[in-house]
Amino acid sequence: MASSEVTICNMALGRVAISRYIASLDERSQQASNCKLFYEPCRDLVLTDYDWNFATKRQQLSNLGNPPKNWAFKYAVPSDCLKARHLTVVGMREPDAKHRIEFELSVEGEAKVLYTDQSLAELVYTRRVTDPNLFSPQFASAVAWKLAGEIALPLSALASLAKTAVQMYQYEIAIAGTTSMNEGQEGQEPESEFIRGRG
């Protein structure tokens, strides 16, 4: 079944022992008003807590010119960027710390900008995804746990449920790596000259 904001909110309510579910985030109920208050911040926090495959985006950055004196280039940060991960390194899909290109995020006026010494920079980042139909099942469950931790105190008589929700959220994030890795295929290691010679 596809996820929806209401479905995720009702999962969160159930996880803190609230049996009265909602039909809409705009209905007049304490449950709906609390879910509406916390849903979007929780969703965005979960997006940034792990590098989810479905939220990964690569984009060539627009050069704005006039960088500060200690950087060679200034670029516009995409409007849907929640978390800048790294700049693309030619020949490396996931550059390690040794090979990553240095950059710095800043704000000029009301615009987010990125400073770097890299020309023709391409940014790999986590984008804001608002359509629940694009969420992976594990991400939807993680959002529900994160939301449960926020709404437990105002809605539930059992304060211990908030602590449980936080622990379960941390567990979801911890196992996200295994699930996410199964969504792709790593390239094979090249054969050594010794093995090729035996063939």
pLDDT, one tens digit per residue, over 162-198 is 999 999 999 999 988 666 555 554 444 444 343 444 4
Annotate 1-29 with DSSP letters as a single string: ----HHHHHHHHHHHTT-----S-TTSSS
For 76, the token pair is 């516009």
C-alpha span between 73 and 162 (Å, rounded): 45
Do 61 and 76 meet the contact criterion of CB atoms below 8 Å apart?
Answer: yes
**Residue 136 DSSP class:** -
> What was the pLDDT predicted at 187?
47
- What's the predicted TM-score (pTM) here? 0.83
Q: List, for residues 40-87, the tens digit of each pLDDT value.
A: 999 999 999 999 999 999 999 999 999 999 999 999 999 999 999 999
| Secondary structure (3-state) at 113 | strand
Distance CA 114, CA 108 (A): 10
- CA triple 44-178-91, angle to 5 deg: 85
123-159 pLDDT per residue, tens? 999 999 999 999 999 999 999 999 999 999 899 767 7
Query: Which residues of the chain form beta strands (DSSP E)?
Result: 56-60, 73-76, 81-87, 103-108, 111-116, 122-127
* 8 A C-beta contact, residue 122 and residue 90: no
Measured in degrees and rounded to the nearest 5, phi and psi for residue 10 equal -70, -35
67, 75 Cβ separation under 8 angstroms? no
φ and ψ at 30, to 5 degrees?
-65, -35
- Asked if 32 contacts 167 with a C-beta cutoff of 8 angstroms, the reply is no
Is pLDDT larger for residue 2 or for residue 19? 19
